[in-house]
A and B are shown apart, each in its own frame.
Chain A
Amino acid sequence: MPAGDGPLVSLTWQPVPGAPGALIYPLIRKIDVISSNSYVITTPEVILIVDPGGVPEQGEQLSRLIEACREEFDRPVFAFLTHSHVDHFIGIQSNAAFSVQKAVVFAVHHAGALALECGDRTVTQADILQQPLSPMKVGLRLFAPEREDHAGLPASLCFPNGAEITIVQDPAKADSPRLPHEQIRFGNGPALDLYHTPGHSPDSICLRIGNLLFVGDLLFAANPGVAGLTGWSQESLVRSLSGAERLVAERGVTQVCPGHGNVISAGDAARMFSRVRADAQSLSHIAELNRDRAVATAEYATDCMEQVNELFTIMAGRLAYVTYILDELGEAGMAEETAALISSDAIDELLEAFRDFAGEYQKISPSPVPLMLKAAQVMGKLERTFQRNELAGIIDPTLVRRAARLLADYITMLRGFTLPGERQVLDLVPVIEAIVTGLSLPLLSDEEILSGPDDEGAFSRILLSRIGSRPLLDEVECEVVTKDTPLLAWIDRDHFTDLLTYILEDLVGTGAGRIGIRIRKGEEGATITITGILAVTGARKPLTWRFLRGLAERAGGSLVVRQQDGLQSFEFTARAA
């Protein structure tokens, strides 16, 4: 058995530091959204479970542990929830050992108790995680309003499982920076201190026994895909994080036991509380993360990943092309440096990891949450792997810019912020002509090359850019036709530029040698029709069209995609001004 003063070890009984006679058995899981960690604590008087978790196997593991403890000598069992989200308790709902109401008393903050007893699918997140939920009986309501009137006075409570406890609530002090606090004593054993720490959810609590602090999901409450969940509160979270940081400093806490992931030292936890608080303070006015938004975000994640896949493969391919040419020119050193700008193996692995995850996970769970979080993880890693500034000097900056914008837009959407954009009245004809011109000219003109500095570094940059950046419309005849000038419409310039670039790229990429752009004013507004005859035909990915339709909406209009007899057309309509 570990000594008790070192870091807690998963799946092992060990002493609870600072609580003589108490033992703890942590069940630490690999981090996921399906199930929390669980912790079992025994004293001579009681068996405590902190968060039974969200999967039945974990519930069975717990019931075997409890049975063994009770065989040793029988004691009452209490299951405390750090909050009433399904990933912290749903795993025991079908477990007979827990369903016998007299055997285990559930202890939950009174707000969570209300949700559990009526089977509230929104507050418990059963809805967003697509979990079945039955109403649950809560035997011990924590921070119950009826005890506020007797704050400071210990109350004795008896339970059907034979337990007798003493519970006392601290008197509420207006404007106190301290967390609302209740203390429970099970006979003569060590005290269990409870602190109300809302923010992640209204019913979130932290528990302290000896020098261990159990914090539930407090440390993740500002994470993308977690912040904004129904019941989330920025103001409460910031206050709770400050209170928890103070607790760690003032109450002799040596280890912090989170709801997900490894146990952390008090020092690391203090730094994390501080960092999470700073993150939380930046999250003003984020949208609620409910089931509808989760579904929309997961759909956007799928569409974005499709484009990310294509853009990163093209960028990596373009860089491989540059390397190939440099090798041919005998510039092996420069070729090596250039190849290092994109770690294409790492990118391939990340993209495939997402594809595999999406395929596998969708078979076993209808919840949109894991997919949207996996996409965020992959996009975050992709963002760290590519050196956009260096790349933009070599390959087409439009590729790099759109890849960067996709990654940034997804994280923005996931965090619950509105995607940046500003619709303004613009004359479409010069806007489109400028985009087409930009895609027809090389990154550096002949004049710029000839008048460039003579040093070797400058020459290398010019050479790389000349090889790597090929104007998209270089070999394509692209004609802009309109009779209606000026044609004013409400559009978002950046998103419209991206949209037109994606469309032109799609046409060029499927071999269209000639592209027509017709701009006209119709009854429904300003319409731009982009058409090309495809050299390569075949079934196309519907996700690309869905992505483009979403992008058209953000650009300020709508998009209709048609393909017939080798002719591909995109019709974008925006509100005329």
Chain B
Amino acid sequence: MDIRTVHREGGTVLSVNGRIDTTAAPELDHAILQEIDQGNRKILLDFSGVPYISSGGLRVILATAKKLKNPGDKFGLCSLSPEVFKIMKLAGFTSIFSIYPDEGEALARW
């Protein structure tokens, strides 16, 4: 898995490419934490390159949602594959944070 981080006007976009498995989940956690530590509290995860997410990956996402709940904070996901969307939806995560069709729409709404 690799992560490309881009700072846009509306927020920080982390584009993830690869499976988020037990090895990759801590890497994702670390990358997100790094951004939050630098004061970037509008985080969008672009999952267009993610074909699979493990329960470890789901926990990272929930932990991020927990960290980014202050007024002015934003956290969301975009461009999910059908498989990953299904997991998020059926696990109940879609009621905690927003899922957008793509990066443009997410940042436009922020």
Residues 34-69 of B, flagged 1 when their CB comes within 8 A of A and 0 if not, give: 000000000000000000011110110010011000
Closest partner residue, chain A, to B53 (CB atom): A313
Total interface residues in chain A, CB < 8 Å: 33
Q: Would you list which residues of chain A between 312 and 347 have a CB under 8 Å from chain B?
A: 312-314, 316-318, 320-321, 324, 327, 342, 344-345, 347
A168 to B65, CA, bound (A): 79
B33 contacts the other chain (CB 8 A): no
Q: Could you say which residues of chain A place their CB within 8 Å of the CB of B85?
A: 509-511, 536
Q: Could you say which residues of chain A place their CB within 8 Å of the CB of B54?
A: 313, 348, 351-352
User: On chain B, which size bracket covers the interface?
Assistant: 20 to 34
Q: Could you say which residues of chain B place their CB within 8 Å of the CB of A540?
A: 82-83
Q: Could you say which residues of chain A place their CB within 8 Å of the CB of B55?
A: 312-313, 316-317, 320, 342, 344, 347-348
Q: Could you say which residues of chain A place their CB within 8 Å of the CB of B65?
A: 324
Could you tell me the distance in whole angstroms from the C-beta of B45 to the nearest C-beta in chain A? 15
B103 contacts the other chain (CB 8 A): no
Q: In the complex, are the beta carbons of B89 and A508 less than 8 A apart?
A: yes
Q: In the complex, are the beta carbons of B22 and A320 less than 8 A apart?
A: no
A239 contacts the other chain (CB 8 A): no
Q: In the complex, are the beta carbons of A506 and B22 less than 8 A apart?
A: no
A134 to B81, CA, bound (A): 50
A505 contacts the other chain (CB 8 A): yes
Could you tell me the distance in whole angstroms from the C-beta of B52 to the nearest C-beta in chain A? 8
Closest partner residue, chain B, to A314 (CB atom): B90
A538 to B102, CA, bound (A): 14
Q: In the complex, are the beta carbons of B66 and A318 less than 8 A apart?
A: no
Q: In the complex, are the beta carbons of B58 and A506 less than 8 A apart?
A: no
A534 contacts the other chain (CB 8 A): yes
Q: In the complex, are the beta carbons of A538 and B56 less than 8 A apart?
A: no
Q: In the complex, are the beta carbons of A321 and B91 less than 8 A apart?
A: yes
Q: In the complex, are the beta carbons of B86 and A345 less than 8 A apart?
A: no
A509 to B65, CA, bound (A): 21
Q: In the complex, are the beta carbons of B93 and A321 less than 8 A apart?
A: yes
A560 to B40, CA, bound (A): 48
* A-binding residues in B (CB < 8 A): 21-22, 53-56, 58-59, 62, 65-66, 80-83, 85-93, 96
Told that A310-B87, A314-B91 touch, could you supply 18 new A-B pairs with CB distance under 8 A?
A313-B53, A313-B91, A316-B55, A316-B58, A320-B58, A321-B62, A321-B93, A321-B96, A348-B22, A349-B22, A351-B54, A505-B90, A508-B89, A509-B86, A509-B87, A534-B82, A538-B81, A541-B83
Q: What are 13 A-to-B residue pairs whose CB atoms are below 8 Å?
A: A313-B53, A316-B55, A320-B91, A344-B55, A345-B22, A345-B56, A347-B55, A348-B21, A509-B86, A509-B89, A510-B86, A510-B89, A511-B89
